[in-house]
Chains A and B, each alone.
Chain A
Amino acid sequence: DAGITQSPRYKITETGRQVTLMCHQTWSHSYMFWYRQDLGHGLRLIYYSAAADITDKGEVPDGYVVSRSKTENFPLTLESATRSQTSVYFCASSESRLGNTEAFFGQGTRLTVV
Chain B
Amino acid sequence: DAKTTQPPSMDCAEGRAANLPCNHSTISGNEYVYWYRQIHSQGPQYIIHGLKNNETNEMASLIITEDRKSSTLILPHATLRDTAVYYCIVRGGGSQGNLIFGKGTKLSVKP
> What residues make up the interface of A, taking CB atoms closer than 8 Å to B?
31, 33, 35, 42-45, 48, 58-59, 88, 90, 92, 94, 96-100, 102-108, 110
Contacts and interface: CB of A to CB of B under 8 A. Distances in A.
Q: Is the interface of A mostly helix, strand, loop or mixed?
A: strand
B46 A103 contact: yes
A100 B51 contact: yes
Interface string B44-85: 111001010000000000000000000000000000000000
A45 B91 CA distance: 14
A31 B91 CA distance: 14
B102 interface: yes
Nearest to A41: B103
A60 to B, nearest CB: 12
Q: Is the interface of B mostly helix, strand, loop or mixed?
A: loop
B84 to A, nearest CB: 13
Nearest to B99: A103
B41 A108 contact: yes
A33 B101 CA distance: 13
A99 B31 contact: yes
Contacts of A90: 43-44
Given A58-B98, A99-B32, A102-B34, A42 B103 contact: yes
Contacts of B31: 99
Given A99-B92, A99-B97, A106 B43 contact: yes
Given A33-B98, A43-B101, A99 B93 contact: yes
Query: Which of A43, A45, A59, A92 counts the most chain B CB atoms within 10 A?
Result: A43
23 contacts: A33-B98, A42-B102, A42-B104, A44-B101, A45-B99, A45-B100, A59-B100, A90-B44, A92-B43, A92-B44, A97-B93, A97-B94, A97-B98, A98-B93, A98-B97, A99-B30, A99-B51, A99-B96, A100-B32, A106-B43, A108-B42, A108-B43, A110-B41
